[in-house]
Amino acid sequence: MGKSLEDFGLGHLIEEDSNEIRITKDIEDALEAPIPPECIDYREKLNEAQANAFNNIMAYVNEEKPGCFFVDGPGKTFLYNALFAEVRLAGKIVLPTTTSGIATSNIPSGRTTHSRFKIPLNLEVSLACDVPKQGSLAALIKATALIIWDEASMARKENIKSLDLLLRDLFHPDQPFGVKFRLTANIRAKEALSYSAFLLALGNGQLQSDESANVQLPEHIVHNIVANEDSISVLTAMIFPEISNPTFDSGIFNERAILTPMNVEVDSINDYLIEQFPGIPTVYLSYDSNLDDNCSLYPTEFLNTLCPGGMSPHQLVLKVNSLVILLRNLAPSKGMCNGTRLICRHFLPNSIICEIANGHYKGKFYFVPRVNLRPSASSKYPFQFERIQFPLKLSFAMTINKSQGQTLSRVLVYLPKPCFSHGQLYFSLSRAKKSKEVTVYTTQQSDSVSSTTVRNIVSYELFQELMMHASHLAQH
């Protein structure tokens, strides 16, 4: 109201702020972020390519020079952890962020970029991040020595633009990312050189000459769908052969998954596998309500049939020990983030006791409550509705996009139709730790095309922009 303590005779309470008080809570937390003991010696275990990226990035950090880096290739998590440990051992601040929630569990103190930088969810309204220039988060970003954005290439371009605007506002308005940003993305540890080289060439669009064209896959990973066969039963038997045994261990689902581009196929596979899963089913029905339908054009029965991406179905059928995936960030700092795979252990009327299936928090138990779910703006419904349901879906099969951040021991890529998005094929083939654990199950497109080819989509414009940007940075 334009007043001060002195106006009320309380001027004696005004004290000079000490240096300790000026340090914000966010900065204190970042400086106290624990270093996992196993990460301390990662620097000595880097391979040649990882060490080259590590040394280049750390040179800029140690000399406090501005820089922007894009790292691509096979071993990302190992490099991230090595960078995190090195910067923290030097007493500096590093902000590890990821595009997806599940990927945050792979990096110490990881946060999603939306959470860390307050990137808006509705990008049609504004691209501006909700970060006051005099606030605590702004002070933290200014004090940061290194920012890591894992899987940045999978983010929407508007999200990257939002961070660019934020950093330009805080630092230099005429430089990309205010010349503060360090970006690392998409590295995987070396295995068979031929498969690693194939993945890099695929991701860089070097295996084709058109934006959307057929690419040749390694013959040993491809199986073709036979006409008139029950493809779902065949592929589930291929990746989960133990399911035919009545006493099989449900832990087989924790490190394996079927990946496919469309939610329709994902739901069909999950429905089939939950029927085969032993035990008595528990069914949870949602409560759906329309938020802006004053004329009652859309009855509740119609809302029950809807299940847009990122929402639980109206009828959620689960069994004890069945595998599910979390659809909301409930407790990211404790491993309960969007994309975490969980094992259902016990069912209660208004909560489900789940155990984290993998990652740093494997074995931890949590109560999952019912929450309010709404479709994202990208669903483009002409009305708004809300669903009260557990934020869970079966996860024997996942969409390729939802598998982002997952590292699995065995993967089956099901392509009844070609991938429809840039990077999807590359992304699905790089989810397993070894190439021999990847299987692609697809239809043969025509007699004139090899049975081991699939259609792939590449954005050449994107690669041209990256090359121009890299050239610009090299000159400066």
Give 60-118 pLDDT, tens digit per residue: 888 888 888 887 666 777 888 899 999 999 999 988 888 776 666 677 777 778 888 88
Predicted structure pTM score: 0.69
Q: What is the rounded distance in angstroms from the CA atom of residue 270 to the CA atom of residue 236?
A: 10
Q: What is the pLDDT of residue 103?
A: 62
Is residue 12 helix, strand or coil?
A: helix
Amino acid at 36: P
Q: What is the rounded distance in angstroms from the CA atom of residue 313 to the CA atom of residue 272?
A: 15
Confidence band, pLDDT 50/70/90 cuts, at residue 319: very high
- H/E segment holding residue 143: helix 136-143
The pairing of beta strand 341-347 with beta strand 351-356: antiparallel
Confidence band, pLDDT 50/70/90 cuts, at residue 269: very high
Domains and CATH numbers, the chain: 13-190 (3.40.50), 192-261+400-476 (3.40.50), 278-394 (no CATH)
**Token pair 């407790």: residue:** 331
Rounded average pLDDT over 264-283: 90
Q: Where are the beta strands (DSSP E) in 136-244?
A: 144-150, 212-216, 222-224
Tokens of 211: 């934006």
Q: Is the dihedral of CA 257, 258, 264, 268 positive or negative?
A: negative
Q: What is the rounded distance in angstroms from the CA atom of residue 354 to the CA atom of residue 38?
A: 27
pLDDT tens for residues 154-206?
777 888 888 888 888 888 777 777 665 544 444 444 444 477 778 777 877 77
Q: What is the pLDDT of residue 182?
A: 47
Q: What is the dihedral of CA 323, 329, 333, 335, to 10 degrees?
A: 10
